[in-house]
Chain A
């Protein structure tokens, strides 16, 4: 034990003596780990945020398709589904996008029948102030702070949007979405079904989606299949499918980023190997002296291992900690555009990173372990310097 502690102590002193070289390696390694962990944490936080938000989504969404594109669906289609046992409720929704030319921004417009919060499965994102439009109320909307800023409303409450025939539809903001849910409400304008129909010039008795709520969550897939059979030519999407799509999108982006960062990591490991494999005359002399003074080959390998482990472990912990701070305090500012896209109305929500031992182990295995392996060969080469080389 005393021998191990002595060698460990010697390794730490040795790191301190070659400060510049080791600090450089540490800084590059920390940067790679930081980028890698940030990517992992942002990806995971976003997937979890999407999962959480989708708990408020309808169980099944029905859309009418024509020539492979979505078209309006008649409200009366609800009647055809009345016979399917297990359906708790069907609601109408208009979901569209409005391009604001003056700001170059795209807004999401949702029109629904109020009230919105009549059941647990039909919860809408909370409001930080104001109220939702009441049934039959016209020209009243709820927006996010982001939209207010884009529309440059300031203290005003009234604004107007253009209908397809370029006539103006006037609106008054009566509520503001809670900032915690910016990930979905950043570009959202919520209004009544009648206002949305008017804005997009959708004929009466037509909507873009029918939202189906199912009494028993285990029955969702079965009911979705039955709806598909009843409504040929329609698209039936379950909540799970939406979640899968989110996961695929985030995982794909995460995977792409990971590949780029792994390439950087591989380059670093090669660099580390290259640097460590070239034994300087000074290093050869040191090893020769240590060996002639009674250090075993194993002692030298252990010494080098301690040096590499200290640098890589410190870099790993620092990189992970910095990545964590990057997410918590700076909302993953470096990688948000990669994951969220470059839309004009970008959500400004806060990310909450979650600790995952699998992710931590993955990063450890892809960073510290290759580094240790890369430095093992040079360590062995150093250790096999002959003791008589210094005579």
Chain B
């Protein structure tokens, strides 16, 4: 399995009065090239699950392997390295740096990899062309529409060619037509062989034809892990 979580528990502020158990012995398996949807209300542990899959932090207990790399009890330094190599993020609020241009935002992950400016621009040009926003390349991100921003965000997620895409509510601020467009883009990434994990409440997401399964999280536990079909 490309994403393999075995009895994963995540406890914040362990041993302190404000201790929170966000995930309780969760097990999950997602195959390479699959797209799954994670659903659940606010505070259910959905974000924690995405954070573990996205190598942002390692679980308190249990075993987690992402893209074939064991991340359980790994120090932050290694997690960052795996995140850089394996994961592309797409966020609900786009998480673009406002004072940078589209091009600068998209190439941010490549700076820490030491990629030269010319190669960075070439890669970005390719993705901007692919998502139809090359005419916005030199624009500041606050001059872009919601749909353009999300396309730019997907382009940024792909700039380091990661095998896993983690998308957190990618359609939250988009209308139906744009939401479908974004989901089509993510499904196309799945077709390229990438594993896509999308967290969303949006039925357009969960009912999308490319979706392979739905994972329902509630109170830190996976209630439902069913294939779509």
- Spell out A's residues near B (CB within 8 Å): 1-7, 9-10, 13, 17, 282, 285-286, 288-297, 299, 387-388, 390-391
Contact = CB atoms under 8 A, between A and B. Distances in A.
Contact of B114 (A2, A13, A285, A293): A2
Closest 4 CB pairs of A and B: A294-B84, A2-B114, A3-B114, A6-B111
B151 interface: no
Interface of B: 47, 50-51, 54, 56-57, 76-77, 80-81, 83-84, 89, 91, 95-99, 104, 108-117, 156, 160, 168
Nearest to B84: A294
A109 B101 CA distance: 74
A10 B84 CA distance: 18
A3 B111 CA distance: 6
Nearest to A296: B80
A150 to B, nearest CB: 62
Contacts, number: 76
Given A295-B80, A391-B51, A7 B111 contact: yes
A387 B76 CA distance: 10
A6 B111 CA distance: 5
Contacts of A13: 104
B113 A291 contact: no
B56 A391 contact: yes
Tell me the dominant secondary structure on chain A's binding face. Answer: helix
A4 B99 CA distance: 22
A41 to B, nearest CB: 40
17 contacts: A7-B111, A285-B97, A289-B97, A289-B108, A292-B89, A293-B108, A294-B109, A295-B80, A295-B112, A297-B77, A299-B112, A388-B47, A388-B56, A390-B91, A390-B95, A391-B47, A391-B50
Contacts of A289: 95-97, 108
A354 B116 CA distance: 44
Given A294-B80, A296-B80, A387-B56, A10 B51 contact: no
A292 B83 contact: yes
Contacts of A292: 54, 56, 83, 89, 95
Contacts of A6: 110-112, 114-115
Nearest to B97: A286
Contacts of B57: 388
Max chain A C-beta neighbours (<10 A), residue from B91, B95, B98, B168: B95
